[in-house]
Amino acid sequence: MIVTTKDLFKHAYGKYAVGAYNINNAEQAMGLFRGCIESKSPFIIQISKGARSYTDKRMLEAIIRAADQIFPDAIFAVHLDHGDEAACMDCISSGFYSSIMIDASHESYEKNIEITHRVALAAHAKGIVVEAELGQLGGVEEHVSVSEDKAHLTDPNQARDFVTRSGCDSLACAIGTSHGAFKFSGSQGIHFDVLEKIKNLLPGFPLVMHGSSSVPQDEVARINAAGGVLKGAKGVDENQLLKAAKLGVCKINIDTDGRLVWCRVHREEFKTHPENFDLRPPGKVFMAEYAKYIVHKNTMLGSNNQLDDLRKTL
Ligand code: G3H
Ligand code: 13P
Ligand code: ZN
Nearest CA to ligand 1 atom 4: 255
User: Is residue 258 predicted with pLDDT exceeding 80?
Assistant: yes
Average confidence (pLDDT) over 143-165: 81
User: Is residue 131 predicted with pLDDT exceeding 80?
Assistant: yes
User: Is residue 310 predicted with pLDDT exceeding 80?
Assistant: yes
100-127 pLDDT, tens digit each: 999 999 999 999 999 999 999 999 999 9
Spell out the SS3 assignment of the chain.
CECCHHHHHHHHCCCCCEEEEECCCHHHHHHHHHHHHHCCCCEEEEEEHHHHHHCCHHHHHHHHHHHHHHCCCCCEEEEEEEECHHHHHHHHHHCCCCEEEECCCCCCHHHHHHHHHHHHHHHHCCCCEEEEEECECEEECCCCEECCCCCECCCHHHHHHHHHHHCCCEEEECCCCECCCECCCCCCCCCHHHHHHHHHHCCCCCEEECCCCCCCHHHHHHHHHCCCCCCCCECCCHHHHHHHHHCCEEEEEECHHHHHHHHHHHHHHHHHCCCCCCCHHHHHHHHHHHHHHHHHHHHHHCCCCCHHHHHHHC
Antiparallel, parallel or unpaired: β 18-22 and 43-48: parallel
Nearest CA to ligand 2 atom 9: 253
Burial tier of 99 (Cβ tally within 10 Å: 0-12, 13-18, 19+):
buried
Ligand 1 pocket residue status of 142, Cβ below 6 Å = yes
Cα R_g (the chain), whole angstroms? 19
274-288 pLDDT, tens digit each: 999 999 999 999 999
Of 182, 203, 208, 231, which Cα lies nearest the Cα of 99? 208
| Confidence band, pLDDT 50/70/90 cuts, at residue 148 | low
Q: Residue 188's pLDDT is what?
A: 75
Q: Residue 307's pLDDT is what?
A: 98
Nearest CA to ligand 1 atom 5: 48
Ligand 2 pocket residue status of 83, Cβ below 6 Å = no
Of 98, 103, 168, 102, which Cα lies nearest the Cα of 128? 98
Instruction: Provide, rounded to the nearest whole percent, the portion of the chain with pLDDT above 90.
Output: 92
Residue 147: other Cβ atoms inside 10 A: 9
Active site residue 255: no
Ligand 2 pocket residue status of 253, Cβ below 6 Å = yes
Ligand 1 pocket residue status of 23, Cβ below 6 Å = no
How close is the Cα of 224 to the center of ligand 1, in Å? 23
Candidate of 49, 79, 256, 260 to mutate for ligand 2, largest count of ligand atoms within 8 Å of Cβ: 256
* CA of 297, nearest ligand number: 2
Ligand 1 pocket residue status of 52, Cβ below 6 Å = no
Class assignment of domain 5-178+186-213+237-255+301-313?
alpha beta
How close is the Cα of 179 to the center of ligand 1, in Å? 8
Q: Which one of 81, 103, 169, 257 is the catalytic residue?
A: 81
Ligand 2 pocket residue status of 105, Cβ below 6 Å = no
